[in-house]
């Protein structure tokens, strides 16, 4: 990242940290990191060539800011949903998916929670998930909608069958088609909130609609057609 881009990111993070609710247990730490970021920016005012030491300090502050925002996002989730994530019911052999597998160390490891009639997922993009500076990469948005919807399709099926999510035979869905409308740019540095619900069931096919919001505004809408996969496809 260029120095001006790093400085721009630091400014944005300072502003996101400010918006953390005072009720959050992270509010105090957020305020500390925000202060440090603002001091760094003040010291650099007008200076476009920070030293290596100064850049290293900035990187530490940026990492810390992302960590606080991620943890605060988890906290939001935990106050709303109490159950285990849908993906945490998947057995090991189907848990390597880049988007939602808890065993894929380099993957996104999204967690979707079923809330009776919709699935909710909070995801904090990584700094590299950038499109143009300041905004989230559209391919990431498509990936999140995809995995969140296949998880929601499974959860809805278990609910319709009146069975717990770890009961057999398992409901596993694969994506037949994915459509994403990008309504407005999605800011990078804040948690994203995904919601998905089933809109149609036709035999083995489940159609879902999803929204992706940031800072309370819907940024993208998705429609996903999932198909129930035969158990042998998953080695089950």
Does 174 participate in binding its own copies (rule CB under 8 A)? yes
Residue ranges of E strands in 105-216: 112-114, 119-123, 173-182, 192-202, 205-214
Nearer to its own copies, 42 or 128 (CB): 128
Does 175 participate in binding its own copies (rule CB under 8 A)? yes
Does 181 participate in binding its own copies (rule CB under 8 A)? yes
* Stretch in the footprint of its own copies (CB under 8 A) among 20-28, 113-121, 180-188, 194-202: 180-188
Q: Which two tokens stand for residue 175?
A: 């994506």
CA pair distance 189, 170, nearest whole angstrom:
36
Contact 225, 207 (CB under 8 A): yes
Residue 113 Cβ vs its own copies, minimum distance, rounded to whole Å: 20
Residue 135 Cβ vs its own copies, minimum distance, rounded to whole Å: 9
Residue choice 83, 177, 217, 231 for contact with its own copies (CB under 8 A): 177
Does 184 participate in binding its own copies (rule CB under 8 A)? no
Return the biggest CA–CA distance within the chain.
63
Does 1 participate in binding its own copies (rule CB under 8 A)? yes
CA-wise closest residue to 186 among 228, 128, 125: 125
CA pair distance 81, 116, nearest whole angstrom:
10
Nearer to its own copies, 117 or 232 (CB): 232
Residue 174 Cβ vs its own copies, minimum distance, rounded to whole Å: 8
Residue 213 Cβ vs its own copies, minimum distance, rounded to whole Å: 18
Mutual angle of helices 52-80 and 27-44, in 10-degree steps: 150
Long-range contacts of 57-60 (CB under 8 A, 24+ apart): 58/6, 58/7, 58/10, 59/6
Non-local (6+) Cβ contacts of 46 within 8 A are: none
Residue 10 Cβ vs its own copies, minimum distance, rounded to whole Å: 16
CA pair distance 137, 149, nearest whole angstrom:
19
Residue 23 Cβ vs its own copies, minimum distance, rounded to whole Å: 33
DSSP H or E stretch at residue 20: none
Binding mask 137-166 for its own copies (x = CB under 8 A): xxxx-xxx-xx-------------------
Residue choice 93, 166, 217, 230 for contact with its own copies (CB under 8 A): 93
| Interface residue list for its own copies (CB under 8 A) | 1-2, 5, 92-94, 96-99, 101, 103-107, 126, 128-133, 137-140, 142-144, 146-147, 174-182, 233-235
């Amino acid at each position: 990242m260029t120095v001006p881009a790093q400085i721009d990111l630091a400014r944005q993070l300072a502003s996101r940290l400010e918006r953390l609710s005072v009720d959050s247990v992270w509010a105090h730490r957020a305020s500390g990191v925000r202060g440090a970021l603002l001091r760094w920016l003040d010291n650099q005012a007008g200076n476009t060539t920070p030293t290596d030491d100064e850049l290293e300090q900035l990187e530490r502050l940026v990492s810390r800011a992302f960590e606080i925002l991620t943890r605060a996002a988890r906290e939001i989730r935990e106050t709303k949903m109490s159950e285990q994530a849908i993906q945490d019911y998947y057995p090991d052999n189907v848990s390597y998916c880049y988007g939602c597998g808890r065993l894929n160390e380099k993957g996104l490891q999204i967690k979707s929670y079923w809330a009776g009639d919709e699935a909710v997922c909070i995801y904090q993009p990584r700094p590299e998930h950038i499109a143009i500076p300041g905004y989230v990469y559209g391919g990431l948005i498509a990936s999140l909608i995809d995995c969140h919807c296949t998880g929601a399709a499974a959860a809805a099926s278990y609910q319709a069958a009146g069975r717990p999510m770890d009961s057999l035979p398992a409901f596993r869905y694969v994506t037949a088609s994915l459509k994403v409308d990008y309504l407005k740019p999605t800011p990078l540095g804040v948690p994203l909130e995904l919601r998905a619900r089933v809109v149609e069931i036709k035999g083995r096919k489940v159609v879902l609609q999803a929204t992706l919001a940031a800072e309370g505004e819907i940024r993208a809408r998705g429609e996903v057609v999932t198909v129930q996969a035969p158990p042998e496809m998953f080695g089950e």
